[in-house]
Amino acid sequence: MSTVKPTVEALAESEVLKQLAELKQWRFEGDKIKRDYKFKDFLAAFDFMSKIAPIAESQQHHPEWFNVYNKVNVELTTHDAGNKVSTKDFKLAKEMESIFQTFRSSH
């Protein structure tokens, strides 16, 4: 039985917490970073997800997310880092925050 070595380096918990300081609404729980988004309605929540989807695909980094009405709950972890948090998670989280800001100002 062989074990697959992670291809992306996981971040130490201290580095995760340091980077989370820049993402105020995100939290670190159980080897994942998490964020709950709230929108004006279902269409805005779905629009947010549809804007993130091609970004996530281009990064080959797909979020675990859950949508009910105007809420989108996101969990990020890197499978290639042994299901730990990596720089890939923070890159996508920052993209999500940037997209979310457009909703706050225009939707």
CA distances from 89 to 3, 4, 34, 44, 69 (A): 23, 20, 10, 23, 25
The verdict on residue 22 lying in a domain is: no
Q: Are 35 and 26 in contact (CB under 8 A)?
A: yes
The number of domains in the chain is: 1
What CATH number does the domain containing 45 carry? 3.30.1360.20
Residue 6 has pLDDT above 70, yes or no: no
What local confidence, expressed as pLDDT, does residue 7 receive?
Answer: 78
The verdict on residue 5 lying in a domain is: no
Integer Cα distance of 34 and 42 in angstroms: 20
Residue 3 has pLDDT above 70, yes or no: no
pLDDT digits (tens, 9 = 90+) for 31-53: 999 999 999 999 999 999 999 99
Read off the amino acid at residue 57: E
Integer Cα distance of 85 and 62 in angstroms: 13
pTM for the full predicted model:
0.89
Give the residue numbers spanning the domain of 97.
32-106
Residue 71 has pLDDT above 70, yes or no: yes
What local confidence, expressed as pLDDT, does residue 104 receive?
Answer: 75
pLDDT digits (tens, 9 = 90+) for 8-24: 899 999 999 999 999 98
The verdict on residue 69 lying in a domain is: yes
